[in-house]
């Protein structure tokens, strides 16, 4: 039987962006409980940089390599975010049909740096998918899936009430940008912390106030917040970030994006889609690269200063 191929980008050993190679790979076929997605767009996230480079904190090195592979990722087609169209469905599939436009995350199965990916319709550690918001591009949908799932996971838990004061640290990250808009949707007053070059952007997304973390080491102690969300993680800090604990109200709570693992949850993707379609949330794309320039995108994201997200167009031919 003739094998049908697809384009994919593989990472066969840990290293700099140049380890990413464009290859012809076997096009997957859906099992009875799988859908076949024709991927239109993927994204390069901070997590992809760890997976490609293999560079994580020393304390995490052994668990990371046990999980991912010793000299390179065990699953050479990496990539965790996708949006595209269902091309075919296995006989047991109930939620989707061919032609549906979807967005989601591939979890431990990775595989989004390719033209096609098979996924189960039910959520698992190997991913979650839902119908994509209709009013945004496939590229924007990748940001919505990644930043949206992370922001909603931590902010839903915070039980933010109308009129509360919320502070988003790292407001210019993929997750921070969605967190600002979700907090505003919930009726909170939002203060954002980012660098000077991103202040106008975060204000244009609805932040009531924005503060440059490079210019001051502490906030006025009179400023009090009911919820403080660190949207960039523990590896990125500043004098200002370290001092924020004293700006919590007596019952205030704080959370870091690194506090718990990302939950792959298609119900949450449905909620994100509804809020995007209702106009409350819009993802932000810093740069978009063609598929064959994915290594360049890794180079850029690896510098750690992207605004919002970096998308990759895998297929331009969309009906």
Report the interface residues with ligand NAP, using CB under 6 A.
45-47, 170, 172-175, 194-195, 197-198, 213, 232-233, 235-238, 257-258, 261-262, 301, 304-307
Smallest gap from Cβ 100 to ligand NAP, in A, equals: 26
CA distance 187 to 276: 16
* 178 within 8 A of 190, measured Cβ to Cβ: no
Strand bridging mode 81-89 / 34-44:
antiparallel
For the record, the structure tokens of 28 come out as 């997957």
Smallest gap from Cβ 166 to ligand NAP, in A, equals: 16
* 86 within 8 A of 102, measured Cβ to Cβ: yes
CA distance 156 to 187: 13
Smallest gap from Cβ 156 to ligand NAP, in A, equals: 14
Nearest residue to ligand NAP on Cβ basis: 233
CA angle, residues 264, 33, 108, in degrees to nearest 5: 35
**In the complex with ligand NAP, which residue's Cβ is closer, 103 or 116?**
103
**In the complex with ligand NAP, which residue's Cβ is closer, 136 or 150?**
150
Q: Is 46 strand, coil or helix?
A: helix
Angle between helix 138-157 and 174-185 (nearest 10): 60
Task: Give the helix ranges, DSSP H, for the chain.
Answer: 46-53, 58-68, 138-157, 174-185, 199-204, 239-243, 266-277, 294-302
**In the complex with ligand NAP, which residue's Cβ is closer, 29 or 200?**
200
Smallest gap from Cβ 129 to ligand NAP, in A, equals: 18
For the record, the structure tokens of 201 come out as 């952007």
**In the complex with ligand NAP, which residue's Cβ is closer, 174 or 247?**
174
**In the complex with ligand NAP, which residue's Cβ is closer, 56 or 131?**
56
Smallest gap from Cβ 235 to ligand NAP, in A, equals: 6
**In the complex with ligand NAP, which residue's Cβ is closer, 73 or 170?**
170
**In the complex with ligand NAP, which residue's Cβ is closer, 15 or 233?**
233
Smallest gap from Cβ 257 to ligand NAP, in A, equals: 4
Smallest gap from Cβ 261 to ligand NAP, in A, equals: 4
Strand bridging mode 165-169 / 116-120:
unpaired
């Amino acid at each position: 039987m003739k094998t049908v191929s697809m384009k994919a980008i593989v990472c066969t050993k840990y290293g700099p962006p140049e380890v990413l190679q464009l290859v012809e790979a076997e096009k997957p076929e859906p099992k009875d409980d799988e859908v076949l997605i024709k991927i239109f767009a993927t994204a390069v996230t901070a997590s992809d940089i760890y997976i490609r480079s293999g560079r994580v904190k020393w304390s995490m090195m052994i668990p990371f390599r046990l999980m991912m592979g010793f000299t390179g990722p065990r699953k050479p087609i990496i990539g965790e975010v996708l949006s595209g169209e269902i091309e075919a469905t296995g006989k047991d599939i109930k939620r989707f049909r061919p032609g549906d436009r979807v967005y989601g995350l591939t979890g431990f199965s990775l595989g989004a740096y390719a033209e096609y990916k098979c996924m189960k319709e039910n959520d698992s550690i190997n991913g979650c998918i839902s119908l994509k918001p209709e009013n945004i591009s496939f590229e924007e949908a990748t940001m919505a899936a990644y930043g949206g799932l992370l922001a909603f996971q931590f902010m839903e838990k915070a039980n933010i009430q109308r009129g509360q004061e919320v502070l988003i640290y790292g407001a210019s990250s993929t997750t921070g940008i969605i967190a600002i808009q979700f907090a505003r949707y919930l009726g909170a007053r939002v203060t954002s912390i980012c660098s000077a070059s991103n202040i106008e952007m975060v204000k244009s997304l609805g932040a009531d106030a924005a503060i440059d973390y490079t210019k001051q080491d502490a906030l006025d102690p009179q400023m009090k917040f009911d919820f403080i969300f660190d949207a960039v993680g523990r590896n990125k800090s500043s004098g200002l970030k370290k001092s924020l604990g004293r700006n919590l109200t007596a019952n205030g709570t704080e959370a870091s994006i690194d506090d718990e693992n990302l939950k792959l949850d298609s119900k949450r993707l449905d909620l994100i889609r509804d809020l995007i379609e209702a106009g409350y949330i819009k993802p932000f794309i810093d740069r978009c690269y063609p598929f064959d320039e994915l290594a360049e995108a890794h180079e850029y994201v690896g510098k750690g200063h992207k605004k919002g997200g970096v998308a990759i167009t895998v297929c331009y031919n969309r009906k």
